[in-house]
Amino acid sequence: MEEVHPLISNEATVFGLLMALLGGIFWASNHPRFSGFFKVVPALLLCYFLPSLLTNFNIVPKDTHLYFVASRYLLPASLVLLTLSIDLKAVFGLGPKALIMFFTATATIILGGPAAILAVSAFAPDLVGGAGPDAVWRGMSTIAGSWIGGGANQAAMFEIFQPSGALYSAMITVDVVVAEVWMAIILLGAAKSDQVDGWLKADNRSVKALQGEMEEFLKKSSRIPTFPEVMMILGIAFGAVAIAHLAGDFFAPWFSEHMPYTANFSLTSDFFWVVIVATTLGLILSFTSARNLEGAGASRWGSVFIYILVGTIGMKMDIKEAIQQPGLILVGAIWMLFHVFILLGVARWIKAPFFFVAVGSKANIGGAASAPVAAAAFHPSLAPVGVLLAVLGYALGTYGGWLTGLLMHLVSGDPLPLMLS
């Protein structure tokens, strides 16, 4: 079959098209004619969904450098700018429910994998069967690594359980499609968080207090920015990005060479260090006069970068691939439903707000690239909470993924040993 090339392949044009699309969304969101629509569908969700149509209708290629640029340059810059005015004491004042929901999310991923295998084997055992490198549980272990930690943990599970290349590719599709559908639901829920909190009977006073404090600070310090202030904001943001990448280029190879076992904690990943250092620099700057740049629009620039990142994430979602893997997508969906229902049940039990559900889940499923986006959907000032929890996910990813693989091996009835060599 002849390969069909996308209509537009020039990445500068693709980026311009993406920005025009994002601009059009926000123009419409401020237009009185569409106010009713945007009360139901948040702008952030459209920034995620509409770019996916560009790739799925083959207008632009799925594999561009835009996501890499957004995640490696704009994401750390946004973390600095969104953290610049944070009240760290107020963040820690959010209480233990955030950690409870995070660890509940981790536990439901660990238990949800084997539960999905047992459930599907009851009516379609071939979907979760296979032998040797093609045993489905081996491929699912890579999803567990990704959903608890991130890409580094996913790669670790691939090396440990050794699924075939074809199965691994299929599981990457399941990982992306199922996780991105859940992300879309979270963004929709964030726009209706008060109603969801009402259903959860949640005590959201700590979250509302932090939001109110940040909004009050912005109201007091807000002003029309001068050109020097805009340049200072961008200089601080991307200067911090440079330092973060410099740290990543130093620490990741050093730990890889001298302490290779720290790969279990993602310390050998340069992206891990970029996120950590950028967030740390933002926190340090929040104790200096740089905090006053919030009044000149620092967090607005951070939000712009986040929205561009969301658009590039949306461009990675390939609906056609999901259609080609319906059986495995079903397995992944059951796994995700197990995770979501128990998470919501625990949240209702302890009266945790939906914010903790969303960020606790995405700190596992998506890590540092998604957790700040989910948190910022509630309020830009909450993005650092997502980063702090995502760091825990990186630390637990390999161990949680290995335990999930072990449990899935047990319930699958695979006679072959856990590790093939």
pLDDT at 146 over 80: yes
Rounded to whole angstroms, the Cα distance separating 329 from 315 reads 19
96-112: pLDDT as tens digits: 888 899 999 999 999 99
177-209: pLDDT as tens digits: 888 889 889 988 988 888 999 999 888 887 777
User: Cβ(84)–Cβ(298) under 8 Å?
Assistant: yes
pLDDT at 405 over 60: yes
Q: Do you know the residue count of the chain?
A: 421
Can you say how many angstroms the Cα of residue 257 is from the centroid of all Cα atoms in its chain? 29
Range 105-126 average pLDDT: 91
Rounded to whole angstroms, the Cα distance separating 178 from 365 reads 10
User: What is the gyration radius of the CA atoms in the chain, in angstroms?
Assistant: 21
pLDDT at 419: 52
| Percent of all residues in the chain with a pLDDT value above 70, rounded to a whole number | 88
pLDDT at 209: 76
Kind and range of the H or E run holding 405? helix 383-412
Residue 332 binned pLDDT confidence (cut-offs 50, 70, 90): very high
| Percent of all residues in the chain with a pLDDT value above 90, rounded to a whole number | 26
Mean pLDDT of the chain: 83
**Closest residue by Cα to residue 85 from 208, 238, 210:** 210
Of 159 and 385, more confident: 385
Residue 92 binned pLDDT confidence (cut-offs 50, 70, 90): low
pLDDT at 386: 80
**Closest residue by Cα to residue 400 from 117, 100, 144:** 144
What's the burial of 101, exposed, middle or buried (CB within 10 Å: 0-12/13-18/19+)? buried
The pair of three-digit structure tokens given for residue 158, joined into one six-digit string: 């691939």
Q: CB within 8 A of 74, min separation 6: which ones?
A: 305, 306, 308, 309
Rounded to whole angstroms, the Cα distance separating 147 from 382 reads 22
pTM of the entire structure?
0.71
pLDDT at 166 over 80: no
pLDDT at 242 over 90: yes
The pair of three-digit structure tokens given for residue 366, joined into one six-digit string: 């998506």
Rounded to whole angstroms, the Cα distance separating 330 from 82 reads 37
pLDDT at 15 over 60: yes
User: Cβ(14)–Cβ(61) under 8 Å?
Assistant: yes
Range 264-274 average pLDDT: 77
pLDDT at 1: 47
44-90: pLDDT as tens digits: 778 878 888 898 888 998 778 998 899 889 988 988 887 787 666 66
